[in-house]
Amino acid sequence: MKKKERNLSLKEQKRKEDFEKITEEMREQGYERREVLISTKKAYTVGILIMIPFVIILVNVFMKMHKCTFSDILDVVLYGEWLTSIMVIFGLIISVPLNSLVYGLTWAPFTKKKMKAISFGFMPAFLSTYCTCDEPLPKKAMILGTTMPIIVTGIVPSIIACISGSHWVLYVAFFIVLGSGTCLMMLFDLLKEKDNNKEKVYLDHPYEPGFVIFERDK
């Protein structure tokens, strides 16, 4: 049974039309298109499950460095100053568009049109902003673009939290790391792709989580 497509916004519909034009141009050059997508269900189940060990490590490192218990960490936000809770909410709100911005800033130098090749939007199914690139990229650029958001919005806040002992930064890092499963799954999918004596270029999918591979024989 063919998968039912979600309703697209006007901007997404425009990108879909441009995507089909790019596909046609690539096919004229002898490329075949193959999509590697991550469903909403998989992102919310597998994506979260694979990040739980990383969250456990983060919390345990914080507790050992600052000689506190998990109960102490919870009490700070649940019963601490209201400003702490506001800072956590503010940090999470800022981290979502920042994640997308990091994608765009990483991919742009590898494109001909630079930031004009980058588009941003909001995906209601994921309650998240997103970034997409409308030019095919080499594999290393796709890998770098997928890795940098994990580093900038996940690993860096985790290190800052553990060094500073800031509970609100820890909470922000906790939720960012927990929600980084989709990025990590995309990274795994990219790393699994072998040359197989084919010439390949990669295109960020214009309206779904994942990417497209255009490949042809060398």
What token pair was written down for 180?
Answer: 């980084």
Give the sheet arrangement for strand 32-37, strand by strand.
Answer: 32-37, 210-217, 198-204
pLDDT of residue 125: 62
Q: What is the rounded distance in angstroms from the CA atom of residue 118 to the CA atom of residue 103?
A: 9
Continuous H helices in 34-138: 40-49, 52-66, 70-78, 82-107
pLDDT of amino acid 109: 95
DSSP 124-149: TTTTEEEEEE-S-B-HHHHHHHHHHH
Q: Where are the domains of the chain?
A: 39-181
Query: Which residue from 71, 194, 68 is spatially nearest to 139, judged by alpha carbons?
Result: 194
Amino acid at site 51: M
| C-alpha pair distances (Å), 215 with each of 23, 66, 198 | 11, 51, 6
- One digit per residue, the tens of pLDDT, for the chain of length 218 reads 445 566 777 877 888 898 999 999 999 999 999 999 988 788 778 888 999 999 999 999 999 999 999 888 888 767 766 777 788 888 888 888 888 899 999 999 999 999 999 988 776 666 677 888 889 999 999 999 999 999 998 999 999 999 999 988 998 999 889 888 888 999 999 999 888 888 999 998 888 888 999 999 98
pTM attached to this predicted model:
0.84
Give the chain's length: 218
What's the pLDDT score for residue 215? 94
Torsion angle of the four alpha carbons 168, 174, 179, 183, in this order, in degrees rounded to the nearest 10: 110
